[in-house]
Amino acid sequence: MRFENPQIFWFLTFIPLLIVFFLWTMRDRLNSLKRFADLAVLDKLTRDLSRTRQYVKYILITSGLSFSILSLTGPQYGAELRMAHRAGSDVVIVLDVSRSMLAEDLKPSRLLHAKQQIRELLDELKGDRVALVVFAGQAFVQCPLTLDYSAVEMFLDVTDAGMISVQGTAIGDAMRLAGDTFDDKDGQHRVIVLFTDGEEHVGNPITVAKELAEVGIKIFAVGLGTNDGELIPKGEVGGGRSYHKDKGGNYVKTRLDEKTLDTISSVTNGDYFRSTQKGNELSRISEQISNMDQREFAASSAVNYQERFQIPLFFGILFFLSEAFLGDRRVISSDWKGRFEN
């Protein structure tokens, strides 16, 4: 038993006040009559009025009000338990936030373009858990696996190229961390979507990809940039653009390494896509994810209660009708004497 509107119970506190008002009204009426006649005359004048019936009528009114208020509280009884199951794949999005992602060979920049593509990917996914891992010279989990895509987007919005102090591009470390992010260590429902330009400065990502392939994790790589490469913006200097230089004073040009990304994908039985301004590759990735094995993430129970307000409402109406048809005058036997005699 539960009540949908329990706050309405407060109205029951007025019932005792109503009872006191009824009793005070009856007493005041009696005192008013005593002012105009003595008790003997008063008894003769009111001999056909039944005080008991008046009390019963007041009881019926207060009972009707009480049950009417009870019906307004929305009593519910007889719960029906239903199970809701959710199944899908586990998707860890790995985003490169190194300085090379500031290059503008994809407009407005590689990083901003990748963030927009991730938002589009989230719109394509249906019922899959998603996590976000970001990396430069180091990698860390920005958002753990969740079904709340709005939370992933919130963490994505605050992601930028200056958030990791250790610069570089540790793709292998990011992939290994992504593999550790999966809470289920078995099954073919785990996938990594890697957004990067492919420039590796730390470790060997191919070795890590083979390790992930052995445990059934698939990688889809999205390459950001161009083969010709682009300078890395640093800031505005003297009204013009400033670009990063190496220790020898030469401008640093970052290029897309498609060979590495294609190898990473192929060894895990995944696929490689080169990012374009149109972003058609996202639909192909989401389609392949939807065709993967799925696991049940959660089985939540939903309780449906049956409305039972009709029962107290019925008794409330019954009490009101009884009060309406009950007279306040007593039936005196002498009134009927001789009425049926010939």
- pLDDT (tens digit per residue) in 157-166: 999 988 888 8
Burial class (CB in 10 A: 0-12, 13-18, 19+), 110: buried
Residue 94 has pLDDT above 90, yes or no: yes
Average pLDDT over residues 179-194: 87
Tokens of 122: 């989230």
Which amino acid, 67? F
Residue 212 has pLDDT above 90, yes or no: yes
Sign of CA dihedral 210, 215, 216, 218: negative
Other Cβ atoms within 10 Å of 11 Cβ, number: 15
Please list, in sequence order, all residues whose beta carbon lies within 8 angstroms of the beta carbon of residue 340, skipping any fewer than 6 positions away: none
Which whole-number Å values give the CA distances from 327 to 55, 65, 158, 263, 272, in the listed order?
11, 19, 77, 96, 90
Tokens of 67: 């049950």
Residue 336 has pLDDT above 60, yes or no: no
In the prediction, which pLDDT does 126 show?
Answer: 83
Long-range interactions of 42-45: CB distance < 8 A, separation 24+:
none
Rounded to the nearest angstrom, the gap between the alpha carbon of residue 277 and the centroid of all alpha carbons in its chain is: 33
Residue 338 has pLDDT above 60, yes or no: no
281-314 confidence digits (pLDDT tens):
788 898 898 888 777 665 555 566 778 888 888 8
* Placement of tokens 């190496």 in the chain: 246
Give the confidence band of 342 by pLDDT, cuts at 50, 70, 90.
very low
Catalogue all structural domains in the chain, each as residue range(s) with its CATH number. 2-74+308-336 (no CATH), 85-299 (3.40.50.410)
Average pLDDT over residues 250-276: 92
Tokens of 186: 């078995």
In the prediction, which pLDDT does 35 show?
Answer: 66
Q: Which of 176-185, 204-213, 269-278, 289-298 has the lowest mean pLDDT?
A: 289-298
Phi and psi at residue 82, in whole multiples of 5°? -125, 140
> Can you spell out the DSSP letters for 97-152?
-SGGGG--SSSS-HHHHHHHHHHHHHHH--S-EEEEEEESSSEEEEEEEES-HHHH
Burial class (CB in 10 A: 0-12, 13-18, 19+), 198: buried
Which whole-number Å values give the CA distances from 318 to 8, 70, 164, 193, 311, in the listed order?
21, 14, 74, 68, 11
**Mean per-residue pLDDT of the chain:** 82
In the DSSP assignment, the letter for residue 251 is B
d(C-alpha 225, C-alpha 286), whole Å: 21
Burial class (CB in 10 A: 0-12, 13-18, 19+), 258: middle
CB 15 within 8 A of CB 62: yes
Helix (H) or strand (E) holding 295: strand 295-307
User: Higher pLDDT residue, 196 or 282?
Assistant: 196
Give the confidence band of 331 by pLDDT, cuts at 50, 70, 90.
low
d(C-alpha 154, C-alpha 108), whole Å: 20
With CA atoms as reference, report the closest residue to 139 among 199, 63, 215, 202. Answer: 202
Specify the pTM.
Answer: 0.63
Tokens of 239: 């009204």
User: Higher pLDDT residue, 224 or 77?
Assistant: 224
Which neighbouring-strand residues pair with 301? Answer: 83
d(C-alpha 227, C-alpha 256), whole Å: 5
User: Number of helices and strands (H, E) in the chain?
Assistant: 10, 13
